[in-house]
Homo-oligomer: A and B are copies of this chain.
Amino acid sequence: MELVCVEDFEKKAFTKLEKNALDYYRSGAGEQFTLGLNREAFKRLRLRPRFLRDVSHVDISCKILGQQLKWPVGIAPTAMQKMAHPDGEVGNARAAGKAGSIFILSTLSTTSLEDLSAGAPDTCKWFQLYIYKDRSLTEKLVRRAEKANFKALVLTVDAPIFGHRRSDVRNKFSLPSHLKLANFQGDLANGVITMGGSGINEYVASQFDASITWKDIAWLKQLTNLPIIAKGVLTAEDAVLAREFGCAGVIVSNHGARQIDTVPASIEALPEVAKAVGNDLVVMLDGGIMQGNDIFKALALGAKTVFIGRPAVYGLAYNGQSGVEQLLSVLRKDFEITMSLTGCQTLRDIQPGMVVHESFYSKL
């Protein structure tokens, strides 16, 4: 059967992954209310399409932080991708490159910065940073990212500790022993081993620095000239701080609903962020993107590009690099259709009034 939408890839992946990994990938925090909301909230937004506009040629290319991209969909950082498929991060990044998308490598990857760069030299790569208690570790990661040709640092701000994902605790999640956190050596590389609960949470609790504040952005900026992007912002207040402390952009995100339940869907939080800083910073979004019209809505509400997390992992699980390629092509096609059928030739034609909340239609 042909795979015609992201859900089809998801279904395939569910049959391929073993429980430990599958639950790790799909889980959200707590009761998983926000996990569902990340999708649901898109359905509460309506498109107001415009017709009889020339859409014989649709151009969805864009420029993000000086980088020319084929379309406004990149791949969000997700940890430990070799659990999904041996192609792992390299497969994912290559597929992204072919599609003209950004790939963001997680600190907690099963492929090192250097191997990723060697494996996917033509992809536009960003590096996602977690700050370790041992600051010299972080400093080294930054230096390596610079050398390995990564174009931006994505500082994840929403994870001083990891959220409570019930299945991971029940499964006593640990990284299969043949895999490593490839950016590290020794204990740090092999540390995602359960000490009774979720191995990844225990690792994070022991290693990450939960005391970091906005001032640490200053510290990072004095280390590097790479643009710094704050990932995980959900409020206008934090977006304003990101601007104040010199971030180049923000990713509106709730970490795939994995950190703390009942936060807003990312698409719910986007408008206040875009209103607050959209003129000054590059506002981006991830969370729940599965269709062309999701992408359109995010752009209409102020995002310059969006990222997908789980969908890419599912493409990978389904069929390695070529699974991700196929998935991106399905999604790209769907977005182009959305552009045509809303009357938009280029991304600049996506105007705010083209997306409204459903409550718009309660007034007769």
A160 and B237 contacting across the interface, CB-CB below 8 Å: no
A349 within 8 A of B: no
Most chain B beta carbons < 10 A, residue from A5, A212, A364? A364
Smallest CB separation, A212 vs chain B (Å):
6
Residues from chain B with a CB closer than 8 A to the CB of A210 are 54-56, 340
Looking at A92-100, A136-144, A263-271, A318-326, the stretch in contact with chain B turns out to be A263-271
Q: Which of B43, B50, B52, B55 contacts A262 (CB 8 A)?
A: B43
Residues from chain B with a CB closer than 8 A to the CB of A260 are 47, 49, 293, 337-338, 341-342
A216 within 8 A of B: yes
**Nearest B-chain residue to A293, judged by Cβ:** B262
Most chain B beta carbons < 10 A, residue from A41, A54, A262, A268? A262
Number of copies: 4
A238 and B158 contacting across the interface, CB-CB below 8 Å: no
Number of interface residues of A (CB under 8 A): 81
**Nearest B-chain residue to A197, judged by Cβ:** B2
A347 within 8 A of B: no
B48 and A2 contacting across the interface, CB-CB below 8 Å: no
B362 and A359 contacting across the interface, CB-CB below 8 Å: yes
| 0/1 interface trace, chain A 38-81, chain B, CB 8 Å (1 if under) | 00011111111111111110000000000000000000000000
A233 and B169 contacting across the interface, CB-CB below 8 Å: no
Residues from chain B with a CB closer than 8 A to the CB of A202 are none
Smallest CB separation, A105 vs chain B (Å):
21
Residues from chain B with a CB closer than 8 A to the CB of A54 are 210-213
Q: Which of B161, B216, B334, B341 contacts A259 (CB 8 A)?
A: B341
**Nearest B-chain residue to A337, judged by Cβ:** B164
A166 within 8 A of B: yes
A31 and B337 contacting across the interface, CB-CB below 8 Å: no
CA of A232 to CA of B355, assembled, Å: 17
Smallest CB separation, A42 vs chain B (Å):
7
Residues from chain B with a CB closer than 8 A to the CB of A338 are 260
Residues from chain B with a CB closer than 8 A to the CB of A259 are 341
Residues from chain B with a CB closer than 8 A to the CB of A233 are 51
CA of A232 to CA of B53, assembled, Å: 13
Smallest CB separation, A19 vs chain B (Å):
13
A235 within 8 A of B: yes
Residues from chain B with a CB closer than 8 A to the CB of A45 are 262
A4 and B364 contacting across the interface, CB-CB below 8 Å: no
B163 and A337 contacting across the interface, CB-CB below 8 Å: yes
Residues from chain B with a CB closer than 8 A to the CB of A362 are 44, 357-359
Residues from chain B with a CB closer than 8 A to the CB of A230 are 51-52
Known interface pairs A170-B2, A262-B45; A160-B55 also in contact (CB < 8 Å): yes
Smallest CB separation, A112 vs chain B (Å):
27
**Nearest B-chain residue to A133, judged by Cβ:** B56
Given A47-B263, A51-B233, A163-B337, output 11 extra A-B contacts at Cβ < 8 Å.
A2-B170, A4-B164, A4-B166, A5-B166, A33-B43, A42-B262, A54-B212, A55-B210, A261-B293, A268-B361, A357-B364
- List 18 A-B pairs, Cβ < 8 Å: A2-B197, A47-B263, A48-B234, A48-B264, A49-B234, A50-B238, A51-B157, A52-B230, A52-B241, A54-B212, A55-B210, A56-B209, A56-B210, A160-B340, A161-B341, A164-B333, A265-B361, A301-B364
**Pairs A-B, 5 closest by C-beta atoms:** A56-B211, A268-B361, A51-B157, A260-B341, A56-B210
